[in-house]
Chains A and B, each alone.
Chain A
Amino acid sequence: MNLGERISKIPRQIIYLFMAAAIVFPLIVPIGMPINVMPQTKKLVDKIEALPPDSKPVLISCDFDPQSMPELYPMLQAALNHLLSKNIKVLVMALWPQGAGMGEMALGEIAPVLNKKYGEDYVFLGYKAGAAAVILGLGDKIVNVFPADYYNKPLASFPLTESLTNYNDLSMVLTLSAGTPGYREWLAYGQSKFGVPVGAGVTAVSAADAYPYLGSGQLIGLFAGMKGAAEYETALIKGGYKLLFHQAIKAMDAQSLGHLFIMIFIIIGNVGFFIMRRKK
């Protein structure tokens, strides 16, 4: 058996074991690899950073479910931490049913620690079915789409929402999007029709598809995958913010080593392939 055949017969379980080791080791013993903040992340961070404390509220849409938590939940935590620390009011909603649970959990973790009051500093709108109708409806009248918050209290009863009419009363929309409905719906029905600025945090799988919208200026900025979340957390720490959570930064060593091992295995696989082809 030559080298090429030997390489091609490495049991896949061995490769999995190497991958597991490459990811577990840096989680237990952090290496502290540097994290560079990429331009698309910086763009969105700068846009949020440029909002003055008395600016209009920001609408965060949790368009993901627990399957995408490792990538998008750290972005949600960081965004809430960022906005509420800057005394910017926040509305949280979801176009995915399970997204409502994500939004409620993140608000519960961040808002009380920062001493923010429900109804004054933030309001949780919850989930509404029918993404296109919801986004179009918000452009007309927010209270028509969400007459009450997630806990069934009328929006008119909160100081934050009593005078809100439509997108004109919002600074921007930040969608944390794991698929459909997600950032594309916000662009098609929110940004294109009403001109509301839309920033997006997306899973890495959909990041390549989101870049054209960034290049054309339809997205004001982009957080791409767990790396994007780590970049956002890094930018906030560099900006002097006290972050309550930084799960994505903690995961970046594991992510980098995981990628390194995959590259090594791809090279080994190709070497084996070319050796076998030459023998034939």
Chain B
Amino acid sequence: MSGSLWVWLSAFLTLCIFSFLYKDNPFYRFAEHLFVGTSAGYLIALSWHNTVYPNLYVPLIKEHQYLYILPLMLGLIYLTRFIPKFSNLIRIPIAFLLGWGSGVVIPAEIQTDVIKQIQGTLLTRGMFTRWDNALWSLIILIGVIATLVYFFFSRERKGVLKPISSVGVIFIMLGFGASFGYTVMARISLLIGRLQFLLGDWLHLIK
């Protein structure tokens, strides 16, 4: 068994959390509250040391770059949310953030998630050099079109739209199935990680 106090503490807290699998109990609640409190404190300290201190305190206070008063003011105006008389001012930093965010995000997202994805769906001559590539490309094209038809709500699903949208449902279900399978895999992986810690670092039963 481990001789480290921290390993024992981690093992105890892990077992406290696992005890919820039997039923809710004070040990679980203690570990849960401790985790929430520690995380909040840790994140505040991290935000100060990694964000506020190097990006605002150092340039403004230590290097006397007074232009940094502007972002400081914008940040402080966010707090007017708590003063009803001045709460309208919060629109200024929100407008700034929305303007900057939209300018940066919209072109990048369109490029990444629309244009390049459409390009990836298009059939090109090169895809037909191998039969398996051609087959998968066709399946992807059919899947994309059928799924889009399923989400086309401007017309009633009858006539030609009905069978196409039914094919779309099959592709959507396949997508959900893949997501569910991967989610199960992720959760099992996390459990394995904790059990490797308990059996290895704590009990020394495995290397």
Name B195's contact: one of A187, A204, A254 (CB within 8 Å).
A254
Asked if A119 is an interface residue, CB under 8 A from chain B, the answer is: no
Asked if A234 is an interface residue, CB under 8 A from chain B, the answer is: no
Query: A residues within 8 Å of B by Cβ?
Result: 12-13, 16, 19-20, 23-24, 27-28, 67, 69-71, 97-98, 100, 127-129, 132, 136, 184, 187-189, 191-193, 203-205, 207-209, 212, 215-218, 224-227, 247, 250-251, 254-255, 258-259, 262
Whole-angstrom distance between the alpha carbons of A270 and B21 in the complex?
A: 23
Shortest distance from the beta carbon of B176 to any chain A beta carbon, whole Å: 9
Query: B residues within 8 Å of A by Cβ?
Result: 21-22, 43, 46-47, 50-51, 55, 104-105, 108-109, 111-113, 116-117, 119-121, 140, 175, 178-179, 182-186, 188-196, 199, 205-206
Contact B189 A226 (CB under 8 A): yes
Do most interface residues of chain A lie in helix, strand or loop, or is the interface mixed?
helix
Contact A70 B189 (CB under 8 A): yes
Contact A71 B186 (CB under 8 A): yes
Q: Given contacts A27-B206, A188-B111, A204-B182, is CB(A132)–CB(B105) below 8 Å?
A: yes
Which residues from chain A contact B185 at a C-beta distance below 8 Å?
204, 225-227, 255, 259
- Told that A12-B21, A205-B186, A218-B116 touch, could you supply 15 new A-B pairs with CB distance under 8 A? A16-B21, A27-B195, A27-B199, A70-B196, A97-B43, A97-B50, A129-B51, A188-B112, A193-B108, A204-B185, A205-B183, A216-B117, A226-B189, A226-B192, A227-B185
Whole-angstrom distance between the alpha carbons of A204 and B188 in the complex?
A: 10
- Measured CB to CB, the nearest residue on chain B to A101 is B46
Which residues from chain B contact A209 at a C-beta distance below 8 Å?
179
Q: Given contacts A187-B112, A217-B120, is CB(A204)–CB(B186) below 8 Å?
A: yes
- Measured CB to CB, the nearest residue on chain B to A72 is B189
Which residues from chain A contact B184 at a C-beta distance below 8 Å?
259, 262
Which residues from chain B contact A71 at a C-beta distance below 8 Å?
186, 189-190, 193
Whole-angstrom distance between the alpha carbons of A47 and B105 in the complex?
A: 29
Do most interface residues of chain B lie in helix, strand or loop, or is the interface mixed?
helix
Shortest distance from the beta carbon of A41 to any chain B beta carbon, whole Å: 14
- Measured CB to CB, the nearest residue on chain A to B191 is A23
Contact A70 B183 (CB under 8 A): no
Which residues from chain A contact B105 at a C-beta distance below 8 Å?
132, 188
Name B108's contact: one of A188, A212, A258 (CB within 8 Å).
A188
Contact A255 B111 (CB under 8 A): no
Contact A192 B119 (CB under 8 A): no
- Going nearest first, the 7 A-B pairs with the smallest beta carbon separation are A216-B120, A70-B193, A204-B186, A188-B108, A226-B189, A204-B185, A258-B188
Whole-angstrom distance between the alpha carbons of A189 and B191 in the complex?
A: 34
Which residues from chain B contact A132 at a C-beta distance below 8 Å?
104-105, 108
Shortest distance from the beta carbon of B106 to any chain A beta carbon, whole Å: 10
Shortest distance from the beta carbon of A44 to any chain B beta carbon, whole Å: 18
Whole-angstrom distance between the alpha carbons of A203 and B185 in the complex?
A: 9
Shortest distance from the beta carbon of B193 to any chain A beta carbon, whole Å: 3
Whole-angstrom distance between the alpha carbons of A120 and B140 in the complex?
A: 46
Whole-angstrom distance between the alpha carbons of A216 and B114 in the complex?
A: 11
Name A208's contact: one of B46, B104, B179, B205 (CB within 8 Å).
B179
Contact A70 B108 (CB under 8 A): no
Q: Given contacts A27-B195, A262-B184, is CB(A189)–CB(B43) below 8 Å?
A: no
Shortest distance from the beta carbon of B39 to any chain A beta carbon, whole Å: 10
Which residues from chain B contact A225 at a C-beta distance below 8 Å?
182, 185-186, 189
Which residues from chain A contact B175 at a C-beta distance below 8 Å?
208
